[in-house]
Structure formats: C-alpha cells, structure tokens
Homo-oligomer: A and B are copies of this chain.
Amino acid sequence: MLPRIASLQNVKIKNLVKLRQRAERDRHKLMLIDGERALRLALQNNFPIEGIFYHEQTAHCALLDDARLKKIPMQPVSAGVFEKISYGNTTDPFVGLAPQPVFSLNTLPHQTNPLYLIAEGLEKPGNLGAILRSADAAGVTGLVLCNSHTDIYNPNVIRASLGAFFTVPLAQAGSDTAVQWLKDHGVQILSASPEAVRLYSQIDLTVPTAIAVGAEHAGLSAPWLAETLVKIPMNGQVDSLNVAQSASVLIFEAMRQRISKT
C-alpha cells in the first residue's frame, strides 16, 4: 500500500512549517534536516530521525531504501506542501524531522590521544557550519561549543556543514566546566589569541590537545585566556582571521604534526 499523500491541512505538516522558527523548535525540542546529503549522513551515523517528508514525485532512491530498512516513518507530500515545508528550497526533495539531541561532555568519545576543538561564543550559523566541516575533515575527536550565541539546531548550521553536524562528536558546556573537564582528562589547552607570544606551530600538538578559538569580536573569555596562548602570525593590515579559518589552520597543523610523527 502506498503511503497517503499529506496535504497542507494535515496538522503534522502545519507543525513542521512552524519549526522553521527557533522558538517553535526549542519549545518542542525538535529540529529540521534539509536535503538528501545531510539526511544520508544522519542515517549513517544513527542519528534518531523521527520522520522524512519527501516530494511525491521523488524517484526511488537509496536514501528512502535506507530509511525504510531503519523503519523511519516516511511521508510523501504534494509539490505545494513540499515548497512550504522546505521553505522554498525545492531543489532537494527531502526534509527530515528529529529530536534536538543533548550534547554533553560525557557523550564525547574516548580516544587515547584526543584532539578537541573548542569554539566559544560563536555568533553565525555559517561559521559553525564551516567549523563542523573542517572538524570532520581533520578528524577531530570532538567539537565543544561553549556559550554559543547561535542556535546550533538551526537548519542553516546543518546546511552549511554539509551534514558534518552528524559526523563530528559534539558537546555543549560552559567554559569553566569545559576547562576543568579537559584538565581532568589530562589534555593540554591551547587558546588562540592575537596577544600570544608563541606561534601555534611551535607547540607540540601530537600529545592530547584541545585548541580553543573565540568569537570574532570578543575573543576568548577569561577561563581560556588563563591557559597557554598561541597565535597565528598576522602579516597583513586586517587584524583578525575569520573564526572558521583560524580553527581550520590550527586543527590541520595538529593533524600535520600527527601525520609526520607516525
């Protein structure tokens, strides 16, 4: 039997449209996942998807097969409905619904020689997305978000991350808590600051390491600035790098050192 085609009158659909607003997402502790690529990575990483809505004219595809195997409810919808629930982004015929997971330090994976990236006070979904993408590529053990000023469950974060939201182990924590947790786990903490004397590349990053980057304007807060400071050399006239660029340069240097040591 074919699933029933949902209409705009359907209460579930109405609620789905409302979830484009942060207040509604937070009230229901739900999030939206746009597009096949992100949904595929979510499925591969056993993210608890509650349902997938798709354009009724979507051809048979691997994503729907996978979702069926995992017994995830699927709902075909008309073109008009899909345009509404996808916020006009109709080039990719899938929208997923999932609970907002709670990301805590305790759920980060254990690893003998971890490399953590800490991002404090992020303001823009696009920057968080770009950082997730670099964190995925560099293969960090986990990304710890401290005092985020951006909604980490914003669909734009997932879109900008190309789905790395589902591949990078995440934690949210206050800065004091995160610093203490890292110390308790014997991880050296390096805080990026233009005020630092030492270059990031002069530090041994092959031991258990956490690299902290701060928001563009405010920089890192006191708990991080009390740790070892490192700087990226600035040869130009513009006085700061974008936070996602800084994070990439720092974690790929750690990766380079780790590769050249093996």
Listed in ascending order, the chain A residues whose CB lies under 8 Å from chain B are 41, 44-45, 126, 130, 133-139, 161-164, 167-168, 199, 201, 232-238, 240-242, 244-245, 248-249, 252-253, 255-256, 259-260
Contacts and interface: CB of A to CB of B under 8 A. Distances in A.
A130 B233 contact: no
A225 B235 CA distance: 30
Contacts of A45: 237
B236 A136 contact: yes
A129 to B, nearest CB: 9
A256 B253 contact: yes
B259 A232 contact: no
A238 B167 contact: yes
Contacts of A253: 252-253, 256
A235 B139 contact: yes
Given A41-B237, A235-B255, A253-B253, 9 more contacts: A45-B237, A130-B242, A136-B236, A137-B241, A164-B236, A164-B237, A201-B260, A233-B255, A252-B253
Nearest to A252: B249
A168 B167 CA distance: 36
The 7 closest A-B pairs by CB, nearest first: A139-B235, A136-B236, A245-B248, A167-B237, A249-B252, A201-B256, A164-B238
